[in-house]
Structure 1
């Protein structure tokens, strides 16, 4: 694709702290791009509060706008106290339906320890934890949402789905990503680690077999394997060994939260969910309704997600201005959080959301 003069961004603020962190991300995105007319932001409704008010959590108008936009930017979805009769959260439909209806098969979660942040793994320093979890986003157990069975209140079942097509494309994306990175911090090796449970379940043995087949096309990248239970240990004991980790949907959901905890928490964890035609960007954290409206939510994950969005758009459209803006956001965050006075509460500081966002925007203007 060639550069465009204007990119349409669908914005859904969401629930809880969603509007606060979304606004912070938008401010940073605008500060990173000197050309104010390059991005056009359009706001649309979705989420748990909307479901309470209307009985619909994700209007078709919002879906159509997201489908047609150049990218989708989001705050946070869902409220734990707002549940449907089956016990599930309708507020989560926004993200889940986008994944399935737009085929956003690659959930990309960078796990990076920034300067200024003390890891829960105290013996690891900034730069020593820097890997990406690539989570297959449309299959696995989560593909069964809305389709599971509860029989006579006694038996419940959901079915995991793993296909050759789904596995091949996510593993191939993992190898392409590894090729573009600098390798694992420990040894500089470009490495893809396939995380599964192949020793117990045939579906994961199939996932591993397909990964081996794809790896033959990438002799310059090392292929590694780890069982999911062992991986929870490895991400604590030797996170510097990892470069790109590729895994099934539910496993990826779980270990990406664990990884985030080692680099400062969910507030430091950006997410890109992309397919061949669409991209959806948000922080990995939830809506945190207990702190909504208090001005203390950590906006960094959403700000970094804005950087991922600009980078993805720039690479997709060969637009160097967007690529540069995405890199500048990452550098600005790194500069700001070196200052102990600008750390949010979840990182042991006292800085407000607005103070952190102001500082990031100031760094981008400098």
Structure 2
């Protein structure tokens, strides 16, 4: 039986609390006691204040060697470089570029027990995935922009044919594995861009269309980014898979997460050919750190995504069953009268949610095995 090495980076703010919650759930899974070794590494704003580096070389090497990386959250708004940008987020951004984690996959799903912020929406109405290109676009300009005499600043938005092709192909392949949009059951990939304004996005759409021709069984769909912010509120049932540039993916996935409960509900998997990085889509929320009130569901679900990715990558049925067990354990916890944290309208603490999910792992594991 293979033993998997997991690099664990807790990070800043609530990062340690939610990451520990996910670790506790994984470590409680029956039959997987010897399946993992967990190695902790520092990164983020606190590490920058301590050592002068938000992403130490030893942390990078540990992440590069590991079978997968599990992360809490990094970044503290007041801890910045001289140019005003945050130090803590250097970890996530640089890891994406250095390990070529080109596909940021963020499922948006309204689950039983959770009340949507959208009126009259119920579980089953919202179930789509945002596929965000993760290594190009405007964010790739970080650290390379120009500030000229404090009078003018510029960053460059760059996309490549290779980058667009592979992220669009990821989106179409994902749609093929899904059951289609909740509204009409159609497998559909929607490109979200500003092709009507900028050449970079017009090029993105052109390459998207070329890839779409290779998937005649999946409908190609289009939305401008500004209109998409309306569509995700007004008709989320239309969407199956959405593919988009880096910055737009960041923005619309935050909006989408709130429609299914809160930012704390949004897991993510950042995938390349060789590496996988798993974290919730929310930030470090330093104002509530240490109070045991953070919502850990997003990080727990990111842990489930990590198990699934490892299981598929290595053909390990144990991990696939474990991922299903965590998913079902989370669903059972959310349906509990005590399974909602403050951001979801409840009063449960972080530790309460962790215990609820763990308490539901055994029956969930039994269901998954049947």
Q: TM-score range by the shorter chain?
A: over 0.9
Deviation of the 1:124 alpha carbon: 1.0
In the aligned structure 1, how far is the partner of 2:257 from the partner of 2:235? Answer: 15
Q: Does 1:269 align with 2:269?
A: no
What's the counterpart of residue 186 of structure 1? 183
SS where residue 135 of structure 2 aligns?
coil
In the aligned structure 2, how far is the partner of 1:33 from the partner of 1:121? Answer: 37
Measured against aligned partners, the alpha-carbon deviations of 1:149-203 in whole angstroms (never above 9, x if no partner) come to 0111111100001100000000000000000011100111010001111111111
In the aligned structure 2, how far is the partner of 1:342 from the partner of 1:172? Answer: 37
Match of 1:304 among 297, 301, 305: 301
In the aligned structure 2, how far is the partner of 1:189 from the partner of 1:151? Answer: 50
TM-score, normalising length from structure 2? 0.97
In the aligned structure 2, how far is the partner of 1:348 from the partner of 1:137? Answer: 32
Q: Does 1:68 align with 2:60?
A: no
What's the counterpart of residue 127 of structure 1? 124
Match of 2:249 among 248, 252, 272: 252
Residues 90-129 of structure 1 mapped to structure 2, 5 A cutoff: 90-129=87-126
What's the counterpart of residue 22 of structure 1? 19
5+ long unaligned stretches in structure 1: none
- Work out whether residues 108 and 135 of structure 1, in 8 Å CA contact, stay in contact via their aligned partners in 2: yes
What's the counterpart of residue 352 of structure 2? 355
Deviation of the 1:123 alpha carbon: 1.4
SS where residue 319 of structure 2 aligns?
helix
TM-score, normalising length from structure 1? 0.98
- Work out whether residues 267 and 298 of structure 1, in 8 Å CA contact, stay in contact via their aligned partners in 2: yes
What's the counterpart of residue 237 of structure 2? 240
RMSD, aligned α-carbons:
0.8
Deviation of the 1:318 alpha carbon: 1.2
Which portions of structure 1, spanning 4 or more consecutive aligned residues, are displaced by more than 3 angstroms? Answer: none
- Which stretch shifts more, 73-82 or 27-36? 27-36
Deviation of the 1:342 alpha carbon: 1.8
Q: Does 1:45 align with 2:42?
A: yes
Deviation of the 1:33 alpha carbon: 4.7
5+ long unaligned stretches in structure 2: 364-370
SS where residue 218 of structure 1 aligns?
coil
In the aligned structure 2, how far is the partner of 1:35 from the partner of 1:195? Answer: 40
In the aligned structure 2, how far is the partner of 1:226 from the partner of 1:240? Answer: 15
SS where residue 245 of structure 1 aligns?
strand
- Work out whether residues 195 and 228 of structure 1, in 8 Å CA contact, stay in contact via their aligned partners in 2: yes
SS where residue 335 of structure 2 aligns?
coil
Q: Does 1:77 align with 2:74?
A: yes
Deviation of the 1:35 alpha carbon: 2.0
